[in-house]
Structure 1
């Protein structure tokens, strides 16, 4: 019997790429370019406002080692775009290699982009590298949220070992205005117990806003956080404001507690607009 090449039995990997470009036409945000390939799909539900909403879908149902998804979004001048996901992105145990998700967003002059994916759920022994690159114009607005759950507490899940790296780079007119690097590797459960990390919390999120409303939104944001912190609130966090940026860090014992504070905080940074409806489905 003839010996088969070793790579013939390599596991199938998910591959996907999606690109969305907007334009301003007739006082509304319209579609200029649209591309989707592999497991990456984009849906544009009908809205009753000048803003466009895009829903990103990973039809593979989750990611594991070696899977790759790339998203690209460009909002033309004077357009408004909100981007979310159909559901939580699930990162499953990786037998080998690392899953990769990269997103590149360009925001034109006077345009606004709200990057609002639902939570990413890491399972035990998952491996994920995620990257967000944003290029802003001088007077554009950008809001981003990234939330992570280390397993689903209600399902009795825990992340003991794994790998997670998250990299953000935000530039305005080519100048770097914000950079983040997060890395969990190895004994994630032990690392997350440290007071300087998560103090045992398993759900955490970062919100980032930069734009013309930063100074006006900050006191409202603090009021929202202070109001939700009343009583025996299970979450911890804080907000800061400098150089035209707002940053919020939140941590909670589970996804439900995190959403309870995350949802109103996002609404404040959207100047009163609620989170996308798909978050409540």
Structure 2
């Protein structure tokens, strides 16, 4: 009997297309290793296909490499989430990495709503995200990251996390961000960095440019307190399109996730032209 591998290499490719009747279907699904989706769901009706990305192992360890590739075809609308937090464990001298590639075609819509990443002690992790949106496409997504166990006083004493995101419009990068977080680094406690907060998140939303009133309404939802803080940036693009970014720092991932959900529910009717219907998994 052969021994189980001590590292996992997994990939998942999903493609969503719109049929003549307007139904979005999961038309292609291919996976290797422990990364998959099970059943497409339609809690909003046939126009929006919901899917949950599953990673059956208990978490991601040193040496693991995951690759996720999502394509949303012309006129299709997909919502993707995860059933729970993704846990990144001790590296044992080997880095772990996740590559995410998303492509949203003209007239397509996407909700990218994964639950949080939790980086435990001595994790050495890298997350690389590339989002390609064609003019006329629209998408809302987020990334939530928690550094260590928040119930501990110091919560994250050793570790390294690399975060890199790029969003392209018609092949041209319009938002690039890359940074390294070290457990012992000054950025964690700097007032211009994480200010001591263990949870950081970014919500990005692209579509028709928000009006001044819509932007003011969104800004009015953002807290600034001792336990939860958020800031807003709006960037105008060509053809009356815009990119909205919301940065969040918090003490607890649950509070951050609840805030992002409220912001998503506020933005979705404006950018994706449909009311917000939370995934069924979130209520279980």
Q: Same fold (TM over 0.5)?
A: yes
| CA distance 1:10–1:24, change in 2 (3 Å) | closer
Instruction: Choose from 11, 23, 36 the match for 2:17.
Output: 23
Partner residue, 1:96: 93
Deviates further, 113-122 or 149-158: 149-158
Partner of 1:87: 84
CA distance change for structure 1 residues 43 and 136 in 2, over 3 Å: closer, same or farther? same
Question: How far 1:234 sits from its partner (Å)?
Answer: 2.2
CA contact (8 A) 1:266 1:274 kept: no
For 1:215-226, what aligned pairs fall within 5 Å after superposition? 215=211, 217-225=214-222
Query: 1:195 aligns to what SS in structure 2?
Result: coil
Change (3 A) 1:157 1:256: farther
Matching residue of 2:234? 241
Runs of 4+ in 1 over 4 A off after TM superposition: 8-11
Return the alpha-carbon distance in structure 2 between the equivalents of residues 69 and 91 of structure 1: 12
- How far did residue 276 of structure 1 move? 2.2
Distance 1:217 1:29, change over 3 A: farther
In the other structure, the counterpart of 2:193 is: 197
Deviation sequence 1:222-268 (CA, Å, 0-9, x none): 1222xx55xx6621111121211100001011223323422211221
Q: TM-score, normalised by structure 2?
A: 0.88
Aligned with 1:279: secondary structure? helix
Alignment CA distance shift 1:156-1:53 (3 Å): farther
The corresponding residue for 2:239 is none
Distance 1:257 1:32, change over 3 A: closer
Is 1:172 the counterpart of 2:169 in the alignment? yes
Specify the alignment match of 2:116 in structure 1: 119
Cα distance in 2 for residues equivalent to 1:277 and 1:270: 17
CA distance in 2, matches of 1:247, 1:275: 21
TM-superposed deviation, 1:182: 2.0
Q: Quick one: distance in 1 between partners of 2:58 and 2:3?
A: 22
Cα distance in 2 for partners of 1:265, 1:240 equals 14
CA distance in 1, matches of 2:119, 2:230: 21
**8 Å contact kept, 1:204–1:250:** yes
Q: How far apart are the structure 1 equivalents of 2:52 and 2:3?
A: 34
Structure 1 position 267 matched with structure 2 position 265? yes
Any conservation in 2 of the 1:238–1:249 contact (CA below 8 Å)? yes
Q: Report the Cα distance in structure 2 between the residues aligned to 1:203 and 1:123, rounded to whole angstroms.
A: 13
2:144 and 2:253 in contact (8 A); partners too = no
1:211 aligned counterpart, secondary structure: strand
The RMSD of aligned alpha carbons is 2.2
Match of 1:280 among 258, 263, 283: 283
Gaps of 5+ in 2: 237-241, 270-274
**Helix, strand or coil for the counterpart of 2:257?**
helix
